[in-house]
Structure 1
Amino acid sequence: MPKSRRSKVVSLTQVAKKTKEHKSSLMSELQENAEKWRYCWLFEVGNMRNSHLSTVRQLWKGTARIFFAKGKVMAKALGTSPEEEHRVGLHKLANQIKGQVGIMFTDTEPQEVVEWFADFKQPDFARAGNKASRAVVLPAGPVMRIYSDPPEPFPHNEEPQLRKLGLTTHMNKGVPTLNAPHKICEKGKTLTSEQAQLLKLIGERMVVFRVGLLCHWDSATGEVAQLEGGGLPGDENDDESMSE
């Protein structure tokens, strides 16, 4: 007996797989840019957010070309051996493409690139699994949204959500209120999904999106220079950067 069409399960989360044509197109584009620009940088990203990476792309539009794709595809496009490399010396950079990294082609001098990315930091909300960069305690009284200017209490219709996330609130004159202080998180402890959601609701940004430069290839010499002290800091949730 054939299965009924009514009982057919349709996944709403399916994502189309990348085709061979897409990979070939990406590789060709990488190779074209390797011929166009003088420098090729390898970078990693801390607390990845597509919106912030898009900001970087926009700010460098016209002066650089940024790729953040599958590492194996990028490495193959550049060539991982002297025999396969697209341009002289590129295999030295291609062999360092491991993990979640990206490539930026540009003609901008290395010192200017280093200084720009050292200054580029975008505070953002932590996600479940991040470590808290500081302790956050809500004081007794109305639960406040700290991001508003001036801070304002949560509306009455959001109290059920606050209680669902672990706050023991009650209504006082139509305002969600705490009878006692509530510690949302402790510094250095891994955040749960409920803690991360609470921090986002009150407006506490606890992580920083940043780009860590690793090395760059120079087409003029065919050499790859490692960036001294390059990459991301050991603690990507470094609270000092949030107060700068």
Structure 2
Amino acid sequence: MPRSKRQRIVSLSKTGKHVIGREGKHGLIEEIRECVDKYDSIYVFSYQDMRNAKLKELRVEWRDSRFFLGRNKLLQVALGKDAATEHAENLNLVAKRLSGDVGLLFTNREHTQVKEFFESYSASDFARSGARAIETVTLNAGALTQFVASQNDQLQALGMPVQLSKGVIELMGDFTVCEMNEILTPEKAKILELLGYKHAQFKLNLLAHWSKNKGFETLSYVGMK
């Protein structure tokens, strides 16, 4: 009998916060353990401002490897929470780093290649509500030629002091969209998106590395308790 879509286990962006049954949990645990056997190295990494589109791009670029995000408790069970239950020696040390916004990368690529990629990788995107502004954005009074007349009502609804004059949207006074480090409201996040300001930086940070030859090593102490 084919497995239902709800219970299907997939990696990377598709392993989100969906509810899976007992069969699905068991399938994920087995899949993780198969990856332990197949790949030489496991990396624990943290991420910020995650976007599914960016993760899909990573999946394509690293098609010879496997990413797993989310379900930290299940990942811990698969790896083993202690020396008695770990699937391979010292994997319980990897499991202990699985807290918060973290993921696992299984790969056979060289350590230097992995390290260089993670250190250099960064992708910009539009910030969401609740994020912090990375700069102060102020608009001067006058014509807003980047917008069309049909957007006037939308901008007004977002709190911008605008009016339509001869088919051109005009800002009736200087307007500060956001201050640096300010927590963005839904309205301010939308205005920044309409203006083309990308205040979110999708970044990855290596935390730990486990390999069959060298065992476990800490790469960053960020997030450790």
Which TM class, normalised by the smaller chain length?
0.7 to 0.9
**Partners of 2:132 and 2:81 in 1: how far apart?**
36
- Secondary structure of 1:131 counterpart: coil
Matches within 5 A, 1:36-185: 36-62=38-64, 64-144=65-145, 153-185=146-178
Give the TM-score normalised by the residue count of structure 2: 0.88
CA contact (8 A) 1:33 1:105 kept: yes
- Secondary structure of 1:126 counterpart: coil
Match for residue 148 of structure 1?
none
Q: CA deviation at 1:171?
A: 1.1
- Secondary structure of 1:108 counterpart: coil
- What letter corresponds to residue 227 of structure 1 in structure 2? L
**Partners of 2:186 and 2:27 in 1: how far apart?**
38
Change (3 A) 1:54 1:16: closer
- What letter corresponds to residue 27 of structure 2 in structure 1? S
Q: State which of 195, 207, 218 in structure 1 corresponds to 2:211.
A: 218
**Partners of 2:144 and 2:63 in 1: how far apart?**
42
- Secondary structure of 1:167 counterpart: coil
CA contact (8 A) 1:126 1:207 kept: yes
Match for residue 206 of structure 1?
199
CA contact (8 A) 2:206 2:220 kept: no
**Partners of 1:184 and 1:224 in 2: how far apart?**
47
CA contact (8 A) 1:215 1:230 kept: no
Q: CA deviation at 1:17?
A: 2.6
**Partners of 1:225 and 1:204 in 2: how far apart?**
39
Provide structure 1 residue ranges, at least 5 long, that are not aligned to the other structure.
1-14, 145-152, 232-244
**Partners of 2:156 and 2:33 in 1: how far apart?**
54
**Partners of 1:155 and 1:42 in 2: how far apart?**
46
- What letter corresponds to residue 208 of structure 2 in structure 1? C
CA contact (8 A) 1:66 1:102 kept: yes
* Identity %, equivalent residues: 32
Match for residue 25 of structure 1?
27
Q: CA deviation at 1:44?
A: 1.0
Change (3 A) 1:72 1:226: same
Q: CA deviation at 1:16?
A: 6.5
Q: CA deviation at 1:173?
A: 2.3
Match for residue 3 of structure 1?
none
- What letter corresponds to residue 19 of structure 1 in structure 2? G
- What letter corresponds to residue 140 of structure 2 in structure 1? P
**Partners of 2:162 and 2:66 in 1: how far apart?**
50
Q: CA deviation at 1:68?
A: 0.8
Runs (4+) of structure 1 moved beyond 6 Å?
none
**Partners of 2:109 and 2:133 in 1: how far apart?**
36
- Secondary structure of 2:82 counterpart: coil
CA contact (8 A) 2:147 2:169 kept: yes
**Partners of 1:16 and 1:172 in 2: how far apart?**
49
